[in-house]
Chains A and B, each alone.
Chain A
Amino acid sequence: MVDLRPVRPDAEPAAPPPDHRHAKRRSRLARLDMKLSPYLFISPFYVVFLIFGAFPLVFTLWVSLYNWGLASGTREFVGLENFRFLVSDADFWHSVVNTFGIFFLSTVPQLLIALLIANTLSRRMRAATMFRIGMVVPLVTSTAAVAIVFTQLFDRDFGMINWLLDLVGVNPIDWQVSRGWSWVALATMVNWRWTGYNALIYLAAMQAIPKDLYEAAAIDGASRIKQFWRITVPMLQPTIIFTVIISTIGGMQLFVEPVLFGTGTPNRMDGGAVHQFQTVTMYMFDNAFIHDRYGYGATIAWAVFVLIIIFSLLNFLAIRRAGGAK
């Protein structure tokens, strides 16, 4: 820990001669300078982190121990009661399943497609820069805009997707009502927005792979596909772990898209009439701010935090093993 307390004035009585004492103090200051300064230099980050990172974390934990309502003004200490309730709260686990469902539907295809795109773009081609920049263009649009437009595309009665399905003779799908289809629709929004971003990261990492590896492999007669799986993917492993963890965090926090997707119910945080696409962050917001259960909302927030850590670790281990461990 950083000790930011002011240096205590010397408590010793003024017995020794003054100049001697000065020298002593100076050397003490110098020592202090040596020890303390480095910490002071790095402290801005930690101070900011303390205020905006650590404090909210601890405060949320504290709030989660209360039956606390912001609007009603209730605040009573209930200990771990909220956590006990959470464990057996079917709605909470329902929202966790939704979140993971949407996560799998978005992350897995997204990262695979990103890998393939990056591999294609890393070859020599015409107008490479244009394609590379074009890839990240979806990122420029705001999440809300993406969600609004896609929600209209997926509309039951007037949406373009159902219109296209109708053209090829497929029955219209009620995207918002069906649990599975609503996940597909939401995953589509996420994929559209983030595939390019991941592809760009992979592309950058691919550029760093030494070319002689490929040349050697080519001389040995390895096909392009074999090169991709045997050289590119293993070499990209740290990058893949990074994107998986970032996607995990993003996926667990999915909020804007499903909120704006929910147009059929009085409360948008419900994620559909039977909560078919209510994610865990929506459930948290719903409790904390709509149903005035601030304390329970904080409990859910902590549960999300723990889930993200566990899930990121699992992903990390899984990918490391899949990549053949180094």
Chain B
Amino acid sequence: MRLTRRRGSLSAVAATLAGVLALATACGGNDDSKSGASGAPAPPEKVTLTVDTFGEFGYDQLYKQYMAAHPNVTVKQRKVSTLDDYRPRLQQWMATGSGAGDVVALEEGILPLYMQQASKFVNLFDYGARSLQSNFLPWKWQMGMTPNGQQLVGLGTDIGPLGLCYRTDLFKKAGLPTARDEVSKLWPTWDAFFTTGQKFMAKVPKTKWLDGPTAILRTTVLQNAGAGPGYSFFDKNNNLVFETNPTVKQAFDTTLKFEQAKMTSDMAIFTPPWQTALKRDTFATLPCPSWMLGGIEQFSGSFGKGKWDVAAVPGNSGYWGGSWLAVPKQSKHPKEAAELAKFLTSPQGQVGAFKDKNTFPSSPQAEQDPAVSGAKSAYFNDAPTGQIFGTMAAQVKPVYLGPKHEDVRAAAENVLIAVGQGKVKPNEAWSKAVEAVKKAAR
């Protein structure tokens, strides 16, 4: 299960929106001539490659396969259980210029930061990665590139397409439909989701509509910015435009509505109260990235058996979480490391990882593999999760993220949570958020 992955219960339950310049990727100049590497015969020298990951990437079998196919290569994996433990280690390695593995995982929350020192990473375009573009969802591919499109820092691994988990038994109690297709139709937009929630809470007043506000802000920002200017808190020159970007205000107000109406339990995912709440009728819906299913199954356990199902998320697109593989320049074997990264992120590599640990692939080819597209979740009433998540991921529009995106998002979320806690007045929320965000973006 990917629980340990938990996007940083500590740090921001990390993660972000999407993006990178909507630049045509083709205009980056063709370096493919340099890239004979992939076809070159394996050098005779023995090479040991270290791979740094956190949580579960599902690579154990893939390493074995790779070593069998490349007898001169030994893959050594260094797993850290949580992103929170991984983050400072990576920071030290990159800052001091030694210690990092030959291949390192970059989570979406930290990728924009490392994009600022792209020069510390190998340009994967130099190792024949340019031809791999069609192997990835467009937004995932773009996020791995520097904004000018000259350097490919990371190759996409998994993503966390967003669905919405809901409690069929509670929906029934409130007189709402329970079949997932009908439920998805209840909320084509966030406004519809809000009114449905009000109806629900009028019938079942002791249960909140949602677990917390985090996912609403995250998803609405991504959806609005993707449909609009293609950037959210920061413009493409990294100027803070939180205050002036209408799509941000819109997303903020949408979330604020839920908090003001006290429709969320103001809980953060994977915290002990949240875990307990899953065994009660505390809330009826829960934004569900693909990796959340395992968490619900674990914590809702026998109590929630047969009670959960997955529908589409309002607005019909979204993701939460996901990583890239990059090769630091400090690696002594950049060529071999790049080959390994390419193998692990290839469609068949991603299918392998999905089979092992349910990490949802960022490659459309992998998503079409029957192992993924046909995936169903027994705990969730046999929901065709492969299909639902595939649809949600395909509709994501790229959004550019500034290096301080995470800091700004957490600051804005705090204000919204404080509204729910009664510590900030709703009519002051926006000005408080603007103030907090300016500090965070410093």
Contacts and interface: CB of A to CB of B under 8 A. Distances in A.
Interface of A: 69-74, 91, 148, 151-152, 155-158, 174, 177, 259, 263-270, 273-274, 276, 289-293
B120 A157 contact: no
A265 B268 contact: yes
B221 to A, nearest CB: 14
Contacts of A263: 268, 271-273
Contact of B113 (A72, A152, A157): A72
B407 interface: yes
A71 B110 contact: yes
Interface string B162-194: 000000000000000000000000000000000
Given A71-B110, A273-B415, A273-B418, A267 B266 contact: no
B87 interface: yes
Nearest to A296: B442
Nearest to A74: B116
Contacts of A177: 421-423
B16 to A, nearest CB: 11
Interface string B48-87: 0000000000000000000000000000000000000001
Contacts, number: 105
Contacts of A293: 442
**A interface secondary structure, majority:** loop
Given A148-B272, A157-B277, 18 more contacts: A70-B91, A259-B10, A263-B272, A263-B273, A265-B410, A265-B414, A266-B414, A268-B9, A269-B10, A269-B11, A273-B423, A289-B88, A290-B12, A291-B404, A291-B407, A291-B440, A292-B113, A292-B404
Given A266-B413, A291-B407, A72 B116 contact: yes
B273 A70 contact: no
B417 interface: yes
How big is chain B's contact interface, by range?
Answer: 35 or more
B9 A264 contact: no
A59 to B, nearest CB: 13
B132 interface: no
Nearest to A263: B271
Contacts of B417: 264-265, 273
17 contacts: A69-B113, A70-B94, A71-B94, A71-B95, A74-B116, A152-B272, A263-B272, A263-B273, A264-B268, A265-B417, A266-B13, A266-B414, A270-B410, A273-B421, A274-B414, A276-B423, A289-B87
B418 to A, nearest CB: 4
B395 interface: no
B214 interface: yes
A265 B418 CA distance: 9
Contacts of B117: 71-73
